[in-house]
Structure 1
């Protein structure tokens, strides 16, 4: 938005309508980005849970194999 401001920090009246259009577009896009952010956080949480389950199963399997005398490494 800085490109619309004069050295006094005001938008020149000749560019005010254009400025409002850009301002409104930005405000409208916030909701879209918030939705994307929520979906991304949900996907990340799901992936994290899957990875944690995988790691727990892997640790258990290593323990069982080690107790059975089977080397895995």
Structure 2
């Protein structure tokens, strides 16, 4: 469980940072207070994303497992 939480925290920092920076740059450009706006947006995105990763992550993993299940392995299991 510690590894899943650590993964969510690290992945959240990277993804929210890159996406918030990119979208702000596209929408407003490098204005005088860009860094302040970006840090505020980044922190809000991070607060939203971490619980989503922790809650939805297991369901997404199950879906991926179903989609990519090896038919040969399924015959062996039954």
TM-score range, shorter chain: 0.3 to 0.5
Pick the structure with more helix per residue: 2
Give the alignment's TM-score, normalised by structure 1.
0.37
- Structure whose CA Rg is larger: 1
Q: Which of structures 1 and 2 has the larger relative contact order (alpha carbons within 8 angstroms, sep 6+)?
A: 2
| TM-score, structure 2 as length reference | 0.36
